[in-house]
Amino acid sequence: MKGTRTTNILSVFSIIAAVALAALVFLFLHIQNKVQIAIAIQEETVTISEQNKQFANLSDVLKDVEADREKLNSYFVESNKIVGFLETIESLSEISGADIEVRTITELDDEDKQESELSLNVTAEGSWASVYHFLSLIENIPVRLVLDQARFQPVSGGSSGAVEGEEAQWASAYTFRVLLTES
């Protein structure tokens, strides 16, 4: 009986030890799973934090270059501000003293470059000084402007000058392009 009692006690302790070991293994695996979840959350938090820092840096850079972007955009004519641009061209007539006329306006699309240009054909008449001044004003408009052609020819007074007491009159024609942007 002594052997069976010892065997029974040993069996009970073995069962308790096996249950305790199973519980410890279960707890270990459960804790390990929770640690892996916590590590994944921490990594995701670090990633989000880095993205927020990059976004903040990008926002700062955008604020820093905003004036430069606006200056760069001023070199283009917005498609909804073509009339204002034409009024600017016509206002140069008053400044230069030349009589101008906008003959043609054509929108040129270049699908390969994905850009649009506005092509203008403008004529001016007046004294040599006024038509030349008009040309210099066109060249100094604060937009990206490409002057394709400029022609000058005397209208009265010949190439050597005017009839006595009368200033020579000149006619000029200009063809130029400006870049358009979407508004």
One domain, residues 101 and 177: yes
pLDDT, one tens digit per residue, over 68-117 is 877 777 767 777 778 888 888 899 989 999 999 999 988 887 766 667 88
Q: Give domain status of residue 175, yes or no.
A: yes
Q: Compute the distance between CA of residue 113 and CA of residue 73 in angstroms, rounded to an integer.
A: 18
Domain count, the chain: 2
One domain, residues 171 and 102: yes
State the DSSP code for 38: H
Q: Give domain status of residue 10, yes or no.
A: yes
Q: Give domain status of residue 70, yes or no.
A: no
Q: Sign of the C-alpha dihedral, residues 176, 76, 181, 114?
A: positive
Which domain, by its residues, includes 121?
Answer: 77-181
Strand pairing category for 99-110 and 115-126: antiparallel
Q: Compute the distance between CA of residue 10 and CA of residue 90 in angstroms, rounded to an integer.
A: 110
| Greatest distance between any 2 Cα atoms in the chain | 152
Say what the pTM is.
0.58
